[in-house]
Structure 1
Amino acid sequence: MPRDTTRRAELAEAATDHVLVHGLIGLSLRPLAEALGTSDRMLLYHFAGKDDLVATVLRTASDRSVAEVRALAPSPGVRRAVLDLWRAATAEQLGRCQRLYVEAAALGLLGREPYASVVAEANERWVRALADHLVASGARRREARRAVALVDATFMGLQLDLPLDPTSPAIRRVVRDVAAAAAVVAGQGSA
């Protein structure tokens, strides 16, 4: 019997909204289904199992993150682009997607599927979106990819510190420093 792809997409969006608020750790089908106003049997009808549902949620969150980055207007230079990307990455919706990514990446590091493959796929799309934003903001493609490696690693590391104090002057200073370094890597600043 063919599955209702519209209903699957609706459930995927609703499940993603739920997971963005409650996280992946401890996710159980029965409470999730109840929160979505359906049954765990219906979730299993629309998804091949919990792993399929989790992979779909991670892809949906990744799609949202990439769409937000792609919606940013080009910045006047790489330094400003990095600052704009940080502001976007720590705004409410994208910030939740980023925290979910960090949670899934930690589980993926343990080799657990579907986390490992979905995180790798999401990371490639994310890095491409960041690089495209830097290119739109004046970086050359080759240097943009190098700058993104620096920016992305720093942003992910800072995501671990954000729950402590997202407005910390130390965090703001690190973001300014990485913006300056990315501008140098992209050929728009001096060391």
Structure 2
Amino acid sequence: MDNATGERAGYRRSAGSPRGEARRRELLEQVTDDVAENGLVDFSLRRAARAAGTTHKVLLYHFDGPEDLLRQAVVTLRARRIGNALAAGTAEAATLTARVRVAWHSLRDEESQLRRVLDQAMGLAMYDPGRYAALGRGASQQYLPTLVSFCPPHWPDQRKHEVAEMILAALRGFLVDLLTSEDGSGAEAGFAALLRAVEREEAAG
């Protein structure tokens, strides 16, 4: 606590300094790599410090405690996933249906550990919202802009968002099915149905 203001200190102490911000980003990338490899279970500042080759006091200088650091690591992991899906979807496909298909293949074929870690984050947010709500809060806001960008540009904004919400909800369910089923056949069948629905939306003009 900052005794003068009653506010937690955290990474605001390094805000505004290009060197401090660069160091914060470097630490975050290193901690994110550890979270991607080892998951969220038993995450702590000391574990994060070992992964970043520093001390927990240094992390507390740049981040607002372990929950803030973990939240930012999860956000960074989602951004990596979104970047991969966006790059694949826009480079190889021209229609919404084709982009969704390519994005799904990117998500389906990504490392199962990454899917597991991001699902762990959502699970923790639901299981203990008092402590981990931030891990789930804003997830849709990260994913939706990419899906909206896949939609035909002439569509009204409301329609883009409605279709993007439908696609996001379905893909989330399919990713969970991939992690919990033996062969993923349910996810593939569901995805085929989703593509038919998206094709109908495109055909409607």
Q: What's the TM-score, normalizing by structure 2?
A: 0.75
Which residue in 2 is equivalent to 1:40? Answer: 56
Which residue in 1 is equivalent to 2:109? Answer: 91
Which residue in 2 is equivalent to 1:81? Answer: 99
Which residue in 1 is equivalent to 2:67? Answer: 51
CA distance in 1, matches of 2:189, 2:155: 22
Q: Residues 2 and 127 of structure 1: is their aligned pair in 2 closer, same or farther, counting only changes over 3 Å? A: closer
Say which structure, 1 or 2, has more relative contact order (CA 8 Å, 6+ apart): 1
Q: In the TM superposition, what is the alpha-carbon distance from 1:130 to its structure 2 partner?
A: 0.9
Q: In the TM superposition, what is the alpha-carbon distance from 1:30 to its structure 2 partner?
A: 1.5
Letter in 2 for 1:142: Q
Cα deviation per residue 1:62-82 (whole Å; 9 max; x = unaligned)? 332333343232624332222
User: 1:99, 1:159 within 8 Å by CA — same for their partners in 2?
Assistant: no
Give the alignment partner of residue 136 of structure 2, picking from 119, 122, 125: 119
Letter in 2 for 1:87: H
Give the alignment partner of residue 27 of structure 2, picking from 11, 29, 37: 11
* Structure 2 counterparts to residues 1-191 of structure 1, below 5 A: 2-3=13-14, 4-71=20-87, 72-73=89-90, 75-92=93-110, 98-110=115-127, 112=129, 115-117=132-134, 119-135=136-152, 141-164=157-180, 168-184=184-200, 186-188=201-203
Counting matched residue pairs gives 186
User: 1:62, 1:97 within 8 Å by CA — same for their partners in 2?
Assistant: no
Greater mean alpha carbon deviation, residues 52-61 or residues 8-17:
52-61
Q: In the TM superposition, what is the alpha-carbon distance from 1:114 to its structure 2 partner?
A: 6.5
Q: Residues 114 and 183 of structure 1: is their aligned pair in 2 closer, same or farther, counting only changes over 3 Å? A: farther
Q: In the TM superposition, what is the alpha-carbon distance from 1:179 to its structure 2 partner?
A: 1.1
Letter in 1 for 2:152: V
Greater mean alpha carbon deviation, residues 46-55 or residues 115-124:
115-124
Q: Residues 99 and 134 of structure 1: is their aligned pair in 2 closer, same or farther, counting only changes over 3 Å? A: farther
CA distance in 2, matches of 1:19, 1:76: 34
Q: What's the TM-score, normalizing by structure 1?
A: 0.80
Find the residue that maps to 2:60 and give its secondary structure: helix
User: 2:122, 2:135 within 8 Å by CA — same for their partners in 1?
Assistant: no
Greater mean alpha carbon deviation, residues 120-129 or residues 95-104:
95-104
Question: Can you give the 5+ residue segments of structure 1 that lack an aligned partner in the other structure?
Answer: none
User: 1:30, 1:39 within 8 Å by CA — same for their partners in 2?
Assistant: yes
User: 2:175, 2:187 within 8 Å by CA — same for their partners in 1?
Assistant: no
Question: Can you give the 5+ residue segments of structure 2 that lack an aligned partner in the other structure?
Answer: 1-11, 15-19
Sequence identity (%): 23
Letter in 1 for 2:123: A
Letter in 2 for 1:39: T
CA distance in 2, matches of 1:9, 1:22: 20
